[in-house]
Amino acid sequence: MTGSAGTALVRDPGPRLADGIVTHIGRRPVDTALAARQHGDYVAALREAGWRIRSVAPADAHPDAVFVEDAVVVCGDLAVLGRSGETRRRGEVRGAEEAVRELGLRIERIKAPGTLDGGDVLRVGDTVYVGRGARTNEEGICQLAHLLGGRKVVPVDTSGCLHLKSAITALPDGTIIGVPDLVDTSVLPCMRVVPEPAGAHVVVLGPGHVLLSESAPRTAGQLAADGLRVTRVDISEFEALEGCVTCLSVLVP
């Protein structure tokens, strides 16, 4: 594909991937060799869609570091470094900071006692929805709202899921898609309910083009029938660690 949609930040899975934190699902063995191949296919899909790939420095001491989305939130020319409510993940931020600095972005950070994971932040047009749960607290949301200036920031309580984007994401036209049982729907506009949980996780690769997991075939079929271009990737080994397609990259237009 010619041209560039922007830069995609990704981080290779480390040698301790199988030790990643599991909270809401039962643990099963992770095939790290398969995970490496799946990550390569994921990165290839981003590249094919026109994204320049920028590898974030490894953080091999941190099993969950491949889920790079949680380390930083990018909005325009601003990069906000997260501070996870899971203390074991806070060391993952350093490499992400180096990457966004090299891209020339302005850098701010969430400070104690605030906590925030990027997986809890969903931008839909000029509105930013932020999940309030185990990884992101009220203080973190308030700090993010201040840093984002005039953007409307809407806290969304989550339950039974790791992050807000474990439950909802948005299609290219701004339609929210997801699993209503996992979020406080009273603060959201209309939601399109997905036929399977993995269908809640959509990465917008470009106008009319979305990325989904192979484990969401019915959702993929519905979106294709609506006229969207759908790319599917197998990320089973990351899903075993509560990961999804959104977790594995930070897209910087």
Residues classed as catalytic? 163, 247
Q: How far apart are CA 124 and CA 113, in angstroms?
A: 27
For Cα atoms 148, 153, 154, give the angle at the middle one, nearest 5 degrees: 165
